[in-house]
Amino acid sequence: PYKCEECGKSFRRNKELATHQRLHTGNLPFQCGDCGKSFSWSSHWLRHQRIHTGEKPYECQECGKSFSRSSHLYRHQRGHAGGRSYICTYCGRSFGSILHFERHQGTHTGVRPYKCSLCRKSFGDAPALVKHQRVH
């Protein structure tokens, strides 16, 4: 890991450390042509540009309302969830249980963390693994 001598924060890549150090040096290379505001990261500059362009690329699949930031869409979708606090960031579906949410996430990510110790077959959730192990 690469460690910032100024604040002690660690990074996996040297490039990430170099970008972080801009905060300490005041080097803000990304400047808005409309208002002059400067940024350390290009992603923050791009996000800022949406203020001037009015672009709202994140659309709620349930009601059609659009947002400039994915975090704003996520917060909005919680209102549709009606007490279902686990919301899929891939498709917007909401779940009342962490088990159902994690099982669903696997359909997008392909992650199957539950492995059978006897045959090495893998599953997206623990109950599916337990059911499978009954056949051994």
Q: In this model, does residue 53 exceed pLDDT 90? A: yes
Asked if the structure places residue 12 within a domain, the reply is yes
Asked if the structure places residue 64 within a domain, the reply is yes
Q: What is the pLDDT of residue 76?
A: 82
75 shares a domain with 43: no
Asked if the structure places residue 91 within a domain, the reply is yes
Q: What share of the chain is helix, strand, coil (3-state, %, to 5)?
A: 40, 15, 45
CA 26 to centroid of chain Cα atoms: 28
70 shares a domain with 83: yes
Instruction: Report whether 30 contacts 42 (CB < 8 A).
Output: yes
Instruction: Report whether 133 contacts 118 (CB < 8 A).
Output: yes
Write down the mean pLDDT value for the chain.
87
Q: pTM of the entire structure? A: 0.49
Provide the domain limits for residue 79.
Answer: 58-96
Type of residue found at 129: L
Among 68-77, 79-88, 93-102, which range has the highest average pLDDT?
Answer: 68-77
Q: What is the pLDDT of residue 81?
A: 65
12 shares a domain with 43: yes
Instruction: Read off the pLDDT band of 111 (50, 70, 90).
Output: confident
48 shares a domain with 6: yes
